[in-house]
Amino acid sequence: MKLARIRDFLEMIKFSHTLFALPFALLGAALAAFSPGAPRPRVQDWLGILVCMAAARSAAMAFNRLADRGYDALNPRTAVRHIPSGRLSARQVAVFTIASAAAFLLATLLFLPNRWPLYLSVPVLLWLLGYSYAKRFTMLAHFWLGLSLSLAPVAAWIALRGDIAWPPVFLAEAVLFWVAGFDIIYACQDVDFDKRVGLRSIPRRLGVKNALRLAAGCHAMMIVPLILLGVTYPLGFVYFAGVAAVGVLLIYEHAIVRPDDLTRVNVAFFQVNIAISIGLLAVSLIDLAVRGVGLG
């Protein structure tokens, strides 16, 4: 495959946006690895988490582009995407989707003898792919996306421990509200288009002003499970300082996006949220390292 074609596929799935979910998967894995009674992670376990994350997200994004190609062609904001612009064919994207899904399913074998990742792989994949049709029948598609990304820390915990506990659940709740909030902000760009073609979204239903208020509420709710995670795990001062910084970044995100000025949505969507995801992972790892963990 030519380098230019590889670049087209990576651009199509916005591979750089993997940084939204991957840090939370790695944080879920780190919390699992250092929790009481946890088995020592193997190299193949970490490899499995990375491959599963990249492959599952690639399959979901490619399928989304495939499912939405008709709408993308009608929307001036998205008409330049790879399928409507002709840079990639629907058949090529379909093959890429199948290959990515197969890679995800096969990568769960790296966690054997823990069979839970294999057992749960198909339901998880179906949920991820199902998001692509959510806007056709529910305005709550933003929360569907949030729940999709929130599976990452829970899945990483299960992959390493084979059980479930409150810390990854609290982290998943934080991801759910975080993603739903910034996806509502992002969807404000397409409110007129959604009305015209009959797609459903919170901005279309509530209006941009009220949608931004709801997004702010979601981001306020994100802080609650982050605090509960720090208390129940438990984590220390460095982590809680990081949570405070996340709160400041969220306030900034909402300060730069206004109902009458959506020109900085992409700054809020990408730059601020990348800082939140990577920053929270960094401070959590530092907290674990400084305290020497020693929970087991």
Of the two residues 136 and 270, the one the predictor is more confident about is 136
Work out the mean pLDDT of the chain and round it to a whole number: 93
Q: How far is C-alpha 77 from the geometric centre of its chain's CA atoms? A: 22
Is the confidence at residue 36, as pLDDT, over 90? Answer: no
User: Can you give the pLDDT at residue 295?
Assistant: 43
- Does residue 125 fall inside a structural domain? yes
Residue pLDDT, tens place only, 218-229: 999 999 999 999
**Residues of the domain holding 148:** 20-290
The predicted-structure confidence for 97-150, as pLDDT tens digits, reads as follows 999 999 999 999 999 999 999 999 999 999 999 999 999 999 999 999 999 999
Per-residue pLDDT tens digits for 275-288: 999 999 999 999 99
4: in domain:
no
Residue 293: left (phi > 0), alpha (psi -120 to 50), or beta? left
Q: Is 90 exceeded by the pLDDT of residue 291?
A: no
Instruction: Say how many Å lie between the first and final Cα of the chain, rounded.
Output: 47
Report the C-alpha gap between 69 and 257 in whole angstroms. 28
pLDDT in the model for residue 264: 86
Which spans in the chain are helix H? 3-12, 18-33, 43-67, 69-74, 90-107, 116-130, 141-161, 166-187, 191-197, 202-206, 208-232, 237-255, 265-266, 273-290
Which of 4-13, 71-80, 105-114, 149-158 has the weakest average pLDDT? 4-13
Instruction: Read off the CATH number of the domain in which 39 is found.
Output: 1.10.357.140
Q: Would you state the pLDDT for residue 173?
A: 98
Residue 1: its pLDDT value, please? Answer: 60
Separation of alpha carbons 240 and 219, rounded Å? 16
pLDDT in tens, 184-203: 999 999 999 999 999 999 99
Count of structural domains within the chain:
1
What is the tens place of the pLDDT at every residue in 139-180? 999 999 999 999 999 999 999 999 999 999 999 999 999 999
Cα separation of 160 and 278, whole Å?
21
Whether residue 14 lies inside any domain: the answer is: no
Q: Mean pLDDT across the stretch 12-28?
A: 86
| Inside any domain, residue 155 | yes
Q: Please indicate, yes or no, if residue 283 is contained in any of the structural domains.
A: yes
